[in-house]
Amino acid sequence: VRPVAVVGVGQTDHTSNRSDVSLAGLIREAIDRAFIDARMALVDVDAVVVGTAPDLFEGVMLPEWWLSSALGGIGKPVLRINTMGSAGGAAAVTAAMHVACGLYDRVLTVGFEKHSESQALWGLTPANPFGRTFGAGAGAAFAPICRAYRERYGAPAEIGPRVAVKARRNALRNPHAHLRIDIGVDDVLASPMLWDPIRRLESCPQSDGACAMIFASPAVANGREDVAWVRGAATVAEALFSPGRDLLRPPSLTVCADRVYAQAGIVDPERELDVAEIYEPFSWIEPLLYEGLGLCDFGQGWRMFDRGETDATSGGRLPVNPSGGVLSTNPIGASGMLRVAEAALQVRGRAGERQVDRARVALGHAVGGTLSSHACMVLAKDRP
């Protein structure tokens, strides 16, 4: 395979309701911004990879087909990727692989969600055909994991609320973020308990938004100063529920992380990464992910957080989610791509107020299902 670079990133200003544009218009806004960033035009693209949620979310059959004109996909390969919540991350990985394989020089990838008009929250738990329906959305699926994490590792109760505060404080420095609210732990504790032990402010919002990225070959990227080089890219899945599955140590997560670190030549991710953007839909999932992503040992994630090592605002050594993460912005189909896009912006030195000093190597990571599908990408300032 040949080297691949990110040459353009675009995202909308995420918010709860974008009824002023159609779904196509929302996506096109992110695409147009990515092309301005890349100093390129839609017609230059060789192929399009679309990351979308299930059709039930948008209420549109074959959205990639319906959206093909807005995507500039006429007469070009248009490929749809759906890996649940990690779809945006998996689409970015797929776009990178399209370039790496040598067949395409410029590949556009897009992820999106229009929560205000979709059924993304409940489309996840349709009626049970064999008896009563118990499911109650993503929160009900993640809450038992959060509870088990806390109990198993003896994490103090305030860790989750503090993760929620860190995310929103970081989002204050991200002009694109949805929830830009200055809150403290007391505010989190006072918010309604939705899926005990998950409170409203420990949950991701429902956002309208889109993200677009342009991946390019060395021939296109050479001579450009502000590109991010892809050093590792992988997606890994596992069965939703399998015998002996340890909910707190999903093998698909560790395998995915190990794979991208091996590709990137990273031996000690905690030391060698400068920043990470990870997919934390609920507060307690963040320390759990530190562990699965190899940033610390199992059971140590909450301690790593507690010591402030991942807090950008307090000078942490490995800032996690300086963008505010999924807890601050969650257009589901785009959320995974935003992690990768933010990682790319960091190593390009283009992250504005949320820029981490001297960021040269960054991890982008996305979750699908109940931690059962993952996409990871390592991006670096230096060419491989």
Partner 1 sequence: VSFVRSPIEIVYPYKHSTGPIVGRALAAFAAGRILGSRCDVCGLVGVPARDWCDHCGGATRETMACGPGGVVTAVARVHEPTDIAPDVEAWALIRVDGAGTDLVHAVRGVVEAGDRVRPVWRVERRGAITDIECFERGEASPAADVEPGAPVEVFERVISLPYTLTAGSLLSRFFDDIRDHRRLHGVRCTSCRMVIVPPLPACATCWADTEGWVEVADRGTVTTFVVVNVPFHGQEMPLPYVLARVLLDGSDTSMLHVLGDVAPGDVRMGLRVEAVWADERTGYPADDIRSFRPTGEPDIPPERFIDRL
Tell me how far apart the alpha carbons of residues 278 and 282 are, in angstroms, rounded to a whole number: 12
**Token pair in block for residue 255:** 């395998």
Binding span for partner 1 by CB under 8 A among 189-197, 216-224, 296-304, 342-350: 189-197
Q: CA angle at residue 36 from 355 to 328, to 5 degrees?
A: 40
Residue 246 exposed, middle or buried by CB count within 10 Å (0-12, 13-18, 19+): exposed
Select from 131, 225, 358, 382 the one that contacts partner 1 (CB under 8 A). 131
Cis peptide before 161 (omega within 30 of 0): no
Q: Is 185 in the site for partner 1 (CB under 8 A)?
A: no
Select from 25, 54, 299, 349 the one that contacts partner 1 (CB under 8 A). 25
Q: Is 19 in the site for partner 1 (CB under 8 A)?
A: yes
**Token pair in block for residue 95:** 């776009």
Tell me how far apart the alpha carbons of residues 29 and 311 are, in angstroms, rounded to a whole number: 31
Q: Is 154 in the site for partner 1 (CB under 8 A)?
A: no
> At its nearest, how many Å lie between partner 1 and the CB of residue 66?
10
> At its nearest, how many Å lie between partner 1 and the CB of residue 22?
3
Q: Give yes or no for a contact between 345 and 351, defined as CB atoms under 8 angstroms apart.
A: yes
Tell me how far apart the alpha carbons of residues 353 and 88 are, in angstroms, rounded to a whole number: 24
Select from 77, 102, 144, 265 the one that contacts partner 1 (CB under 8 A). 144
| Identity of the residue, 126 or 315, whose beta carbon is nearer to partner 1 in the bound complex | 126
| Identity of the residue, 5 or 248, whose beta carbon is nearer to partner 1 in the bound complex | 248
> At its nearest, how many Å lie between partner 1 and the CB of residue 94?
21
> At its nearest, how many Å lie between partner 1 and the CB of residue 189?
15
> At its nearest, how many Å lie between partner 1 and the CB of residue 102?
25
Residue 209 exposed, middle or buried by CB count within 10 Å (0-12, 13-18, 19+): buried
Binding span for partner 1 by CB under 8 A among 115-123, 260-268, 302-310, 357-365: 115-123
Q: Is 22 in the site for partner 1 (CB under 8 A)?
A: yes
Binding span for partner 1 by CB under 8 A among 177-185, 246-254, 328-336, 337-345: 246-254
Q: Is 132 in the site for partner 1 (CB under 8 A)?
A: yes
> At its nearest, how many Å lie between partner 1 and the CB of residue 89?
23
341: amino acid identity, one letter: A
Paired residues of 145 in beta bridges = none
**DSSP structure class, residue 211:** E
Binding span for partner 1 by CB under 8 A among 1-9, 142-150, 221-229, 375-383: 142-150
Q: Give yes or no for a contact between 75 and 48, defined as CB atoms under 8 angstroms apart.
A: no
- Give 371's contacts (C-beta < 8 A, 6+ positions apart): 145, 247, 250, 252, 253, 285, 288, 292
Give the closest residue to 194 by CA, choosing from 165, 159, 160, 221: 160
> At its nearest, how many Å lie between partner 1 and the CB of residue 361?
34
**DSSP structure class, residue 282:** B
Select from 39, 127, 223, 267 the one that contacts partner 1 (CB under 8 A). 127
Note the residues at the interface with partner 1 (CB under 8 A).
18-25, 28, 42-43, 56, 58-60, 69-74, 114, 116-119, 121-123, 125-134, 136-137, 139-140, 143-145, 147-148, 151-152, 192-198, 239, 241-248
